[in-house]
Amino acid sequence: MSFRLLVLGFATVTMGIVGVAASDQAARPAEVPTFTKDVAPILFKNCTSCHRPGEIAPMSLLTYEDARPYARAIFEEVRDGHMPPWHADAPDGTFSNERKLTPAEKDILSRWANGGAPKGTAPMPPAPVYTDGWQLGTPDKTFEMTEAYEVPVSGTVNYEYFYVPGDLTSPTWVKGIEIRPSARSVVHHVLLYYWAKPDPTRTQVLVPNREQSQLPDPTSGRSPRRGVPGARPILIATYAPGTNPQIMPAGTAIRLEPGGTFEFQMHYTTNGTATKDRTRVGLFLSQDPSPREVRISQFVNGQLKLPAGEADVAVDAEVGFSQPTTLWGLFPHTHLRGKKWRHVLVLPDGTKQTILDVSRYDFNWQTYYMFAKPIAIPAGAKIVSTAWYDNSAKNPANPDPKVDVRWGDQTWEEMQYTGLIYSIGAPAVTGTGTPAVKK
């Protein structure tokens, strides 16, 4: 949950909204839900993967004593659509990784908070079992920055690149990837690339709009990218605020060639405290004997310009497809002025279909929207993305509404960036199913 929930939670304690003595709980009407019987299962299913010690959320919700002070705030965050953090407008079941509560679950949280937040006498359900540290379980392989990076107290930190040799001796199929910074408070994002000798049979599918995709100054705000001589990089994972570990759809995996090197593109943001970070990555190998390859890439509009004071600026970007393609997921990304997104599939005959509509973009929750039923894209089709920005003083997150804003790496600048996960060829399955990742 967001920092706003933490503040609201303290407010509820101060105001005594949910404060009830233990002796009062027995007098509550029978129809009031209780924590042990009704609320804990909802929190265990939807919330505690983040709301537990050591994870990204500001408070734990694993026990009654943890959750009770925030009962009213939990209800209000759910009622207002802030929690669980999900921002796409689509019918239920459109995406395989939806974070939503059912109407019945919302009703239980409402009646529990408004009924005094009783604990109840029923036995607590078994708490979820989480592997300490890694959300996906114990990785098959782990790689770590060779030394910690010292983030200063203040100032701007350019993008930094760290290279970690791999130990792959044969083509390796990766089902899941989890990136874990050691100091999340200063890590804005991580892009994980893998440099290896290119597979000569690998064909190109994406056809980006070359005019849009040119960045004003590719080196601005970045330290030199060394790269690996004789090799080419492929993007294999993304970490950003609110991003979950990435699991490939059922029956698919990322192929990594032998003898490669991992590149950590690190974007650090100072926060007033000198901090050290040493990010790790965990690889979860596919157990499928013949998985289908998925690829991860992106398309952008590096020519964006947001006039000072403008509250509703639309910026487009597009990418074409030279071959039939299966689209598994999309990742829209802007910074603090971004407010909504739409992605439209344009077929060769001009027919248009909205495939992703994010009407409430939230910079604090970067999400890969994974389609429950992958989208078939014919050769000659394209995806047009549109991002809307608020560069006015009415945007409370706007760093400076008095300046024109262009593409830039830092959060006070802007991006129009879409990540995408795809496979060559038409869909071979009807849905993503349940990924087989070890727990």
| Angle at 322 (CA atoms; ends 316, 328), nearest 5 degrees | 70
Mean pLDDT score, 286-296: 93
- pLDDT reported for residue 298: 94
- What does the block give as tokens for 337? 């002025």
Q: For residue 427, name the pLDDT band (cuts at 50, 70, 90).
A: confident
Overall size of the chain counted in residues = 439
pTM here? Answer: 0.81
pLDDT for residue 378 is more than 90? yes
Mean pLDDT of the chain: 87
Q: What are the tens digits of pLDDT across the range 146-202?
A: 999 999 999 989 899 999 999 999 999 999 999 999 998 899 899 999 999 877 777
- pLDDT reported for residue 365: 86
283 - beta bridge partners? 141, 177
Q: How far apart are CA 412 and CA 397, in angstroms?
A: 10
Lowest mean pLDDT among 79-83, 336-340, 397-401: 79-83
Q: How far apart are CA 313 and CA 301, in angstroms?
A: 14
| Angle at 208 (CA atoms; ends 250, 254), nearest 5 degrees | 25
159 - beta bridge partners? 222
Q: What are the tens digits of pLDDT across the range 107-156?
A: 999 999 999 999 999 999 998 887 767 888 899 999 999 999 999 999 98
The answer to whether 60 touches 66, Cβ cutoff 8 Å, is yes
Place of tokens 């909802």: 42
Q: How far apart are CA 55 and CA 416, in angstroms?
A: 29
pLDDT for residue 373 is more than 90? yes
High-pLDDT (> 90) share of the chain, %:
67
Q: What are the tens digits of pLDDT across the range 212-228?
A: 988 887 656 667 788 88
Q: Which of 411, 419, 418, 416 is nearest to 221 (CA)?
A: 411
Q: For residue 30, name the pLDDT band (cuts at 50, 70, 90).
A: low
Nearest 10 degrees: Cα torsion 390, 393, 395, 399: 90
- pLDDT reported for residue 253: 96
The answer to whether 62 touches 54, Cβ cutoff 8 Å, is no
Strands 172-180 and 280-285: antiparallel
Domain chopping of the chain, boundaries: 3-114, 141-424
Mean pLDDT score, 423-434: 65
- pLDDT reported for residue 384: 98
pLDDT for residue 432 is more than 60? no
Distances (CA, A) of 54 to 59, 60, 125, 126, 131: 9, 9, 22, 20, 12
Q: Which of 361, 372, 385 is nearest to 91 (CA)?
A: 372
Q: For domain 141-424, give its CATH number from 1.10.260.40, 2.60.120.230, 3.40.50.300, 1.10.3720.10.
A: 2.60.120.230
- pLDDT reported for residue 199: 74
- pLDDT reported for residue 97: 87
